[in-house]
Chain A
């Protein structure tokens, strides 16, 4: 079976090898002979820049989740209303950023937010919200805020479609019963829709976390991790150590960073996965069938 070979060569083997590399001091060239035990890990844990990147990834993830979860649910609820027309039109419009190339979006956004006479500054001054241009990407705080905003804008449509799918999978007869009992819209929402959506919510949360923890394209093209590492995420940190054209590649060290970070994300998803299983007890507990979609559409 070709897929089995592919699977072993490109998924199982890499996972094992990234552990192996992590215990060596290795530049990617020449034999793998400098076994250093846990030195890569101890150096990693002592590195402030790694924790800085780790923190940035966490901030990005938490802010994006907090921003997206309620807003996308709200929009999905509106679009799911029977009387509301033009569902496909709005879905297309809001989904558009998802399908566009992230790296190119990063570059466009750099020009929109970038220098003094950039679009956002001009627009805000024209409306009267600003007196003078702000160097959005030049300050640590605003650069992170812009990164979060753009990341959320990019992923918004995806989340909305997840919610819509979740809403449409709810059983119709429960709503019938609620209508017979004379429940109004808010009561139905509060006592039927939201509780029934709980398992789906966990899945969507999971997808969003995995997606947000692996942000590379956008950071690389929008800020390059700057100003002064203020927006460097772990993926960028790993890239810089493993493939940077300047300096000596540190494959072993980068692998160690990948493992520490990967295990953290894995633990998070595991906890949430169990939570998901727990919320759907009785139902078929197939929380495993989660999309891979979250991975690449950053």
Chain B
């Protein structure tokens, strides 16, 4: 028993030490965003600023266009999440509850596309959006972001709906519900946990997305999201380090908060994928 206590203590010390290194870059980022630029250069390994300087945030927000980037990120992310949740729920419902010819083939096909890297399909998607006349618009970015097969989410919805009791539909039918009304009023509310998982994961995903917004907003700086805006900010304001750190904090803090609050759903979604 004593050995276990010692071992326990040692492990905690080790994991804590590594954990501090693990989150240190983010701590450093936040403290750097509160320093002046001269303070930043001379700081060395000193972490705390002399006086917290919130004006870095004001500068990044106004001069650095982070207000625009932020609202773009919010619009793109929320719309994409809504589209993906509705689409995946509908598909999952169809695949899990309705038997139609070719169902198995469809499931196999979407599973296979999971292994196709995004770089593989991005050029044709770019051409599609272009031919739709949506290049350099927010709608184009949203469409490209919600594209893809979302295999994981569909499979999650599918297996969830598949395991619901058959009586539910029968009861709804007796009460006079049609196919879509059954879906909206009975099935969808029941699948809240899966909706939460899908929404959280897709949120983090889209918020962090860089490749798609980068190539779809190459010629339109005012459409940049935070991830892309940050990249160009560094190119344009090479020596404004504390403004850079402030911008990075503006971009990262929302996603970190969302993760910490909703992490249960997130971890469940990922775990579900391995357990299969």
Q: Which of A70-103 contact B (CB under 8 A)?
A: 75, 78, 83-84, 86, 90-97, 99-103
Q: Is the interface of A mostly helix, strand, loop or mixed?
A: helix
Q: Which residues of A contact B87 (CB under 8 A)?
A: 2-3, 6
Q: What bracket does the count of chain A residues touching chain B fall in?
A: 35 or more
Choice from B120, B148, B155, B256 contacting A100 with Cβ under 8 Å: B256
By the criterion of a CB under 8 Å from any partner CB, how many residues of chain B are at the interface? 90
Q: What's the minimum C-beta distance from A216 to chain B, rounded to whole angstroms?
A: 6
- Which residues of the other chain, B, contact A119 by a CB distance below 8 angstroms? 28, 45
Say yes or no: is B270 at the interface (Cβ < 8 Å to chain A): yes
Q: Which chain A residues border B151 with CB–CB below 8 Å?
A: 292
Contact B230 A18 (CB under 8 A): no
A10 in the interface, Cβ–Cβ < 8 Å?
yes
Within 36-74 of B, Cβ neighbours of A (below 8 Å) are at: 41, 44-45
Query: For A235, what are the chain B residues with a Cβ–Cβ distance below 8 Å?
Result: 117, 119
Which residues on B sit within 8 Å (CB–CB) of A162?
Answer: 270-271, 274
Known contacts A2-B87, A102-B210, A254-B123: does B276 contact A203 (CB below 8 Å)? yes
Contact B117 A265 (CB under 8 A): yes
Contact A83 B8 (CB under 8 A): yes
Whether A269 sits at the interface, judged by CB under 8 Å, is yes
Q: Which residues of B contact A229 (CB under 8 A)?
A: none
B148 touches A11 (CB 8 A): yes
- Measured CB to CB, the nearest residue on chain B to A251 is B123
Contact of A238 among B119, B149, B234 (CB under 8 A): B119
Q: For B204, list chain A residues within 8 Å (CB).
A: 99
- Tell me which of B106, B115, B144, B266 contacts A269 (CB under 8 A): B115
Contact residues of B: prevailing secondary structure: helix
Chain B residues contacting A296 (CB-CB under 8 Å) are: 118, 205, 208-209
Residue of B nearest to A88 (CB): B263
Rounded to whole angstroms, the CA-CA distance of A70 and B221 in the bound complex is 43
Q: Which of A1, A123, A234, A245 has the most CB of B within 10 A?
A: A1
Cβ-defined contact, B90 with A101, below 8 A: no
Sorted nearest first, the 10 A-B pairs with minimum C-beta distance are A291-B273, A10-B147, A289-B276, A165-B271, A14-B124, A14-B121, A17-B124, A3-B91, A103-B210, A101-B208
Chain A residues in the interface with B (C-beta under 8 A)? 1-4, 6-7, 9-11, 13-15, 17-18, 21, 28, 75, 78, 83-84, 86, 90-97, 99-105, 107-112, 117, 119, 122-123, 126, 153, 156, 158, 161-162, 164-166, 168-169, 200, 203-204, 207, 210, 213-214, 216-217, 220-221, 234-235, 238-239, 242-243, 245, 251, 254-255, 258-259, 261-262, 265-266, 269, 286-293, 295-297
Would you give 17 A-B contacts (Cβ < 8 Å), ordered by A? A6-B87, A15-B116, A15-B124, A78-B15, A92-B260, A94-B22, A99-B208, A119-B28, A126-B45, A156-B22, A210-B115, A216-B119, A221-B231, A243-B215, A254-B123, A287-B276, A288-B111
